[in-house]
Structures are given as C-alpha cells and as structure tokens.
Amino acid sequence: MAYKPQFYPGSTSVGINRRKHMSGNLEKLRDIPEADVTAIMGHRAPGADYSSTHPPLKEMGEPDCPVRQLVAPTAGAAAGDRVRYSQWTDSMYFAPSTPYWRSYWGAINCKGCDPGTLSGRQIIEARERDIEAYTKAQYDSEMTDVALCSMRGCTVHGHSLRLEENGMQFDMLARTEMGKDGNVYAVKDQVGIPLDKKVNLGKPMTEAEAKKRTTIFRADGVPMCGAVGARKYDEAVEALHHMWELRSKWGFRPE
Amino acid sequence: MVTESDTESIQVEIVPSRFLMPASAQKLLNEIYGNGGLIRIMIHGPNLPRSVPYGPGRGAPIDENRDLLIEVGGQAFELCVKVGRIRLELESAKFYDGLKAACERALPISFQIRRGKFFHTRQTITDYAKFGKVEDTRILGLIDPRAKKDRLAILSEERVTIDDEER
C-alpha cells in the first residue's frame, strides 16, 4: 500500500481544515488575475522584467554535484530571480488560515520557499516568479477570506483587534475597502502605496462560512478538546499532550 | 452595607463589539451628548495616521484617514482614532439608564457598558511633562501618554480646540 501522509489529528472541523491546509488539497474559491496579484505585491509593475541576482543557471555552468542533478530548480531559481516576499495578516475572528498554517502549507507544498511565522503575520520569501505563483495560490484558495485576511508588507497590526462595523479586518493604512456592491477592493499594494486601479477581490465569506472554514480553535467556535461534555477529548489534544510530554523529557536520561 | 450615593459623579465605559465608522460614532456621541449630565468624555481606539508611518511606502498619503469630520452637539472636530471604546464621567448615577438607552438606540451592533473607575485622579509624570502642574483635574486621564504631543480635543461652549500633530 502506498504511503499516505498524515498531517494533523482530530475529527473536529478545525482539525479537518488544518489537514486540508497542510496537504495543499484546498478548494479554489476565486480567480484573481496574475497581473493584479503582482500589482498588490508591489515588487514589480505587471508586465515588467524580473530583476535578477545571478545569470540563468544554464549559463552559469554549475559544478558537478549529485544533489543538483537530482533536484530540478524552480522556475525562479533557474532564471536567477531576486528573492521577494509576500506577507499575510489573518484576523483572530475566524479567519480561514493562521500564521502557523500558512507556514505549514508553504513548507510542505511550495518548493524553494522560506516561510516565517510570527504571532500576527506570516511571511513567505522565495524567488520572484515562484512567490508570485504561491501568493496567487493563497489568494485564490480557501486559505484566504478577502475581508478577514489581507496582504500587509508593513503596519500589520489588526489581527487581534476587533473587526470594523462592515466585517473587515482593521487596517490602519486602509489597503482594502468594502465597495458599495458588497465586494472587497484592494486599493493599495502591500506597503500602502496606492494602486493605479482598484482590484476587485470578490465577496467576503459570511460569518457562518468563515467559522466553517477556519483553522482556529476558539472557545466560542470549535474548542480544541472537541465536543463540550464528551467522554473523551478529541485526538488533537491527546496528540498535543503526547508531543508536549516527549518535548519536556527530551534528552532526560536518569541513570 | 454601604448605600450608594446618587449625587456623586460616576464613570462609565462603553465598548462596542466592533470598531465604529465615523457616521456611527457621530450618532452615538450625539445620543450621549443629548442624554446630558456629561462632565467629560474620552474616545479611544487605534490611531489613524494621515500618511504611511514606515516601510517602503513611508510618507504616502492615506486619504481615507483624512478629514474624518464629525459633528457633536453642533461642533465639528476631526477624528484621529478609530472609535473602539468610550469612557465618560456623568454628573450622577441618575443619567446612567438614559445613557444605556442612548447606546441601544445609536448602536447597530452589540456593546458592553460598565461602571467603574477609568480616569486617574493624580497627575502622572507624563501629565507633568506635558502640562506642568494641571489646575483643571478634569483633563487627567484624557491624554494619550504615548502620543508625541498631547492629543486632546476640548469641546467647550465657545470654541473647539484641537491640539494634534501630523504623523
């Protein structure tokens, strides 16, 4: 029987969603054009050339190395692109993803990337054409709700604040706005420089939908222990206790 | 058992479950003002800078945060924060129920309202550094200690004074 990776324990909806994020088996909810994703990232104008740090690998004449022969370079690495980043902020109010799960998704599913996890934001660095593809994948999939998640290169605070009256995550720099038609528009790039044209990101999730897709355990949503009052805790807690115990005893050898 | 005096001033905090848009904030403040009995009031929330404070886009204007004028009791002033919390002092406890009803009328979302002690009574070092010796103790507790200058809008019968810097 072929090996099937197991990503996360538990039978709660959050456990199932966490498995989906880690496995990369995500539902596609929207299709934002590549040029618009590039514009929101703000590293280069859509259609402009990629800046590079070294010549394409084919022209460089690489040393004879078994690992290089084994591993095919990503498109960005083969072309010698600069390393760029995209950074996300996800609201604590039932955003579909969280920094840890964006990082798990990146580390498991995206080749040649460097995810960085912080308390309120999550950054992925990779070669420019790779990071553009990874960012588009995040934007288009159920990892992102356009009201509760946004790309913020700086001034990221907002994840732990209350939402605005219209259900948007608070953003000091007003990078996204709720249109009169109920769609969310990106009006600035991730560092707060106005875009030439507004980018329609589509409609946000309803509160019920966000709660259904979230990877956040919360006492007022799905608690980590599973159903309240159940005879047995959810497997996620058992696994956590197990790991915690091993971690605490790590290297401890009473002799 | 100590019987509560209904002639002493009381302090109240109102926390809506979401940040308020300027229009809702104006409606709420007008309802609170209309209820009467107000000694002082402070609105609190995250800062709304007028330009990008740092990063590659530093200095780019944020038009959404400019000219957020609201009119309270016939006087207009500019909002510098996203309204997330309101603390106020009432002349006596008899205005409390009216205040609660005013919030229910004005706010389209749920909110918490509670009595307590929210303004300090003694001068802090920050107060002293900014104002010297404060004669009118009503402004204690209304100042943002982290702002570079004092950020305070004083609405009086005669005029509006706003002391604020562009950040």
**pLDDT score recorded for residue B153:** 60
How high is the pLDDT of residue B160?
47
pLDDT at residue B154 in the model: 59
Report how far residue B99's alpha carbon sits from residue B38's, in angstroms, rounded to the nearest whole number: 10
pLDDT at residue B166, as a whole number: 38
pLDDT tens for A116-171 read 999 989 999 999 999 999 999 999 999 999 999 999 999 898 999 999 999 999 99
| Per-residue pLDDT, B156 | 52
Q: What value of ipTM does the predicted structure carry?
A: 0.87
Count of A–B CB contacts within 8 Å?
A: 67
Mean per-residue pLDDT of chain B:
84
**Least confidently predicted of A144-158, A222-236, B37-51, B142-156:** B142-156
User: pLDDT at position B144, please?
Assistant: 73
In this prediction, residue B164 has a pLDDT band, given cuts at 50, 70 and 90, of very low
Please judge whether B109 and A174 are an interchain contact, meaning their C-beta atoms are less than 8 angstroms apart.
no
8 A C-beta contact, residue A88 and residue A102: yes
Distances (CA, A) of B45 to A164, B20, B62, B109: 12, 10, 18, 17
CB contact under 8 A, A172 and B47: yes
Q: Please tell me the predicted confidence (pLDDT) of residue A249.
A: 85
Q: In the prediction, which pLDDT does B165 show?
A: 39
What pLDDT digit, counting tens, does each position of B12-43 carry?
A: 999 999 999 999 999 999 999 999 899 989 89
Which residues of chain B does A195 touch, with a Cβ-Cβ cutoff of 8 Å? none
Mutate to test the interface with B, among A172, A175, A180 (most CBs of B within 10 A): A172
Q: Which of B18, B48, B109 sits opposite A172 (nearest CB)?
A: B48
| Tens-digit pLDDT profile for residues B62-102 | 998 888 899 888 888 888 889 999 999 999 999 999 999 99
pLDDT in tens, A13-28: 999 999 999 999 999 9
What number is the average pLDDT over the span A102-125? 95
Contact A149, A92 (CB under 8 A): no
Question: Which of A40, A87, A121, A165 is the best residue to mutate to test the B interface, defined by the most B CB atoms within 10 Å of its own CB?
Answer: A165
Fold of A13-216: Lambda Exonuclease; Chain A (3.90.320)
Q: Is the pLDDT of residue A65 over 80?
A: yes
B16's enclosing H/E stretch is strand B10-16
- Closest by Cβ to B65, choosing from A154, A166, A174: A174
Nearest to A101 by CA among A163, A14, A29: A14
Residue A229 pLDDT level (bands cut at 50, 70, 90): confident
Give the residue extent of every domain in chain A.
13-216, 223-255
Percent of chain B scored above 70 by pLDDT?
Answer: 84
A153/B56 touch (CB, cutoff 8 Å), yes or no: yes
Q: Does B21 touch chain A (CB under 8 A)?
A: yes
What is the CA B139 to chain-centroid distance, rounded?
Answer: 11
Identify all chain B residues contacting A169, using CB atoms and an 8 Å cutoff.
none
Cα(A97)–Cα(A215) distance, integer angstroms:
6
Instruction: Looking at mean pLDDT, say which of A68-72, B1-5, B135-139, B163-167 comes out highest.
Output: A68-72
Q: Which domains are seen in chain B, by residue range?
A: 10-119 (3.30.70)
Q: Which pLDDT belongs to residue B132?
A: 81
Is the pLDDT assigned to residue B159 strictly greater than 50? no
User: Would you state the pLDDT for residue A93?
Assistant: 95
**Which DSSP helix (H) or strand (E) runs through B24?**
helix B22-35
